[in-house]
Homo-oligomer: A and B are copies of this chain.
């Protein structure tokens, strides 16, 4: 076993931080380390928190951390900011928050930005979750900025998803994207001391009641995070949803789905690597590219021919006569 993995499993925070850096940098050693960590994962409960910038997500997460700590839980926080592709993963507010919790060894906060593609961020977030899971966190909060597709992708990773809204001028409900409605297990109306709170709450409840699907009915929780109001209700709702997920079997299903996705990713990763290594050895790729660029070939036929040349999926000798 790698020393880094041993250290991490022994509760060494610096080992956890270094491990996440390996994940974030997509270092070669990453897969070996994650492989060794894997048997120690699967225990943490994953909570996704998403909402537009300015909805007060960060202070809400801070309040939640306090509630969870009061219950003796160990928590990991991954703050994802897909809108900052070039930040290198450091968010100012996050640094400040890290200072607050620096002395609390039961809380581990890490922010992540995109270095490569958004697909890369989604993957490195999932891998960072594995790290904090193996590190022994009971709950991992995944906080994402914004409400675009990238956040939806990332939040799909969670067991419970919280969507944070504010009672903004009454048109807030109209601006909720249909897909965001669908991913929410719990709605939070934060800044619930502002006018429009009751109307926003009612509107969301009406929308939720229109869909008669059975199963979990998302609650709408009002909070004022800067005054620490309503957080206990949010924490209760989170626990209720977890129980629902466990008792209905939904949790097991989504975890199997997650494993399937992980396996799929790994298979495709190995596949691509093998193919491109073999291509490098055997095929004059540049010449082929030039032919396609000159429109002498199309990329669709060229791709088929290339795979044919590599004898991939060839029958075993003698097998078909």
The one of B178, B262, B295, B316 in contact with A86, judged by C-beta atoms closer than 8 angstroms, is B178
Interface residues of A in 291-319 (CB under 8 A from B): 292-293, 295, 298-304, 306-307, 310-314, 316-318
Copy number of this protein in the oligomer? 2
Whether A269 pairs with B303 at a CB distance below 8 angstroms is: yes
Whether A313 pairs with B117 at a CB distance below 8 angstroms is: no
With an 8 A cutoff between CB atoms, is A42 at the interface? yes
Q: Which residues of B contact A177 (CB under 8 A)?
A: 84-86
Whether B86 pairs with A271 at a CB distance below 8 angstroms is: no
- One digit per residue, 1 when the CB lies within 8 angstroms of any chain B CB and 0 when it does not, for chain A 256-291 equals 100110110111111110110011000001001110
- Shortest CB-to-CB span from A127 to chain B, Å, is 11
Interface residues of A in 145-172 (CB under 8 A from B): 146, 148-150, 152-153
- Shortest CB-to-CB span from A144 to chain B, Å, is 12
Q: How far is the CA of A288 from the CA of B262 in the complex (A)?
A: 12
- Shortest CB-to-CB span from A128 to chain B, Å, is 16
In the complex where A85-B177, A148-B85, A177-B85 touch, is A312 in contact with B271 (Cβ < 8 A)?
A: yes
With an 8 A cutoff between CB atoms, is A11 at the interface? no
Whether B39 pairs with A295 at a CB distance below 8 angstroms is: yes
Q: How far is the CA of A114 from the CA of B266 in the complex (A)?
A: 25
Whether A259 pairs with B289 at a CB distance below 8 angstroms is: yes
Whether A266 pairs with B302 at a CB distance below 8 angstroms is: yes
Whether A262 pairs with B82 at a CB distance below 8 angstroms is: no
Can you list 26 A-B contacts (CB < 8 A)? A31-B300, A38-B295, A38-B300, A42-B295, A83-B148, A85-B149, A85-B177, A114-B149, A117-B149, A118-B119, A255-B293, A256-B289, A259-B292, A260-B289, A262-B292, A263-B285, A263-B289, A263-B302, A265-B299, A266-B302, A266-B303, A267-B306, A269-B303, A270-B307, A310-B313, A312-B312
